[in-house]
Amino acid sequence: MGFYSNVIFPWAMNLLMSGEPFDNERKKLLLDVKGKVLEIGFGSGLNIPHYPAEIHDLVAVDPNSGMRRYAEPRIAASPIKVERYELSGENLPMDDASFDTVVSTWTLCSIDNIVQALAEIYRVLKPGGQFIFLEHGLSDESGLQRWQNRLNPVQKLVGDGCNLNRNFHTLIEQVGFSLLSADNFYLDKTPRLFAYMYRGIAIK
């Protein structure tokens, strides 16, 4: 992992993804989290303050070692015990049907083999378990879609693998999940190229 991925990108993401409007969306999304929880794309730990009080343990996965310096103070300040794995969501070492809930926020855009990662999430969830997600992706506006598709190669370089043009509701259903709830919206105070959100709860 190079200097940009390990130093510059973690610093930028920790800064850009902090505060409003992101904190407000994290709070709303994580209200439904319960049981044994796995978070894919833990990053700098920005979700930690927003988990329900009954969550005492969290298993967290992230491939970027540069995020650790920002995550550790948040972990130290939280009552939640975090078990961290420095690896990609495409190959999880966890047993089948071992989690009640899997959480992903603004992460699936950057996983190279997204279908494999979603299949892994499906595998490690218990029957009836919930996959709770919030991701940015392909707009429903054709004009904006064209720009997202044109600029996607550049975005992947600047965003350390981040894609602009994924339809997450379709991808999630493709691996066998049923969408209990799903909605799309434009995030406030965010450039429209990145602002179209996919939010939902998928059931195994």
Work out the widest C-alpha separation in the chain, in whole angstroms: 46
Q: Considering the entire predicted model, what is its pTM?
A: 0.95
Q: Which two tokens stand for residue 74?
A: 């948040």
Bridge partners (DSSP) of residue 99 are: 125
Give the DSSP letter of residue 4.
I
CA 156/CA 12 separation, integer angstroms: 15
CA 33/CA 29 separation, integer angstroms: 8
Could you tell me if 52 and 30 are in contact, meaning their C-beta atoms sit under 8 angstroms apart?
yes
What is the set of domains in the chain, with CATH numbers?
Answer: 3-136+168-203 (3.40.50.150)
Profile the chain (204 residues) by mean pLDDT over runs of 10 residues.
Answer: 88 93 96 95 97 96 95 96 95 97 97 97 98 98 97 95 97 97 96 97 98
Q: Which two tokens stand for residue 98?
A: 């071992």
The three-class DSSP label of residue 190 is coil
pLDDT at 31: 92
pLDDT at 1: 62
